[in-house]
Structure 1
């Protein structure tokens, strides 16, 4: 496919960045990276490119975590439901 290296995923850098690899999304957050979707790693050059992009993203996440002074666990935060006016009423 392409000889350009995959874009560098900067874990925990901001809360708006998303890296998409095939149908898999890695969504940045300050305390959490959410992984959604699925990814087919086919046995061809395209599959190799996707696998390398995924590997680079996971390596960046592991490196960011390894360099940080980590707490035992991040406290879970839950958003309370917000009541909105029914736009159809």
Structure 2
């Protein structure tokens, strides 16, 4: 697969209705994946395991991991230029 964890090239991987979206600081996993007791279920779980293993390997190989990177919610919010602060 061409998905290299934390190399942000706007890539994402789709496994059924589950999406793994690549980014430089974080990888987003969202959607739904049903693992059924059939060949498709086996293929899906193997694909998911391969992605999780690749992400874990990349993190384990990183020498200088911070305790926690800032989340999108922690980033500063710019005030709206359309808000008139002099109005009551």
Q: TM-score, normalised by structure 1?
A: 0.76
Moved over 3 A (4+): 78-83
Which residues of structure 1 form unaligned runs of 5+? Answer: 1-6, 84-89
Q: CA RMSD in A?
A: 2.1
- The number of residues matched between the two structures is 78
Cα gap change, 1:45/1:12 in structure 2, threshold over 3 Å: closer, same or farther?
A: same
What TM-score do the two structures reach when normalised by structure 2?
0.77
| Greater RCO structure (CA 8 Å; 6+ sep) | 1
**Any gaps of 5 or more consecutive residues in structure 2?**
82-88
Q: How does 1:35-54 map onto structure 2 within 5 Å?
A: 35-54=29-48
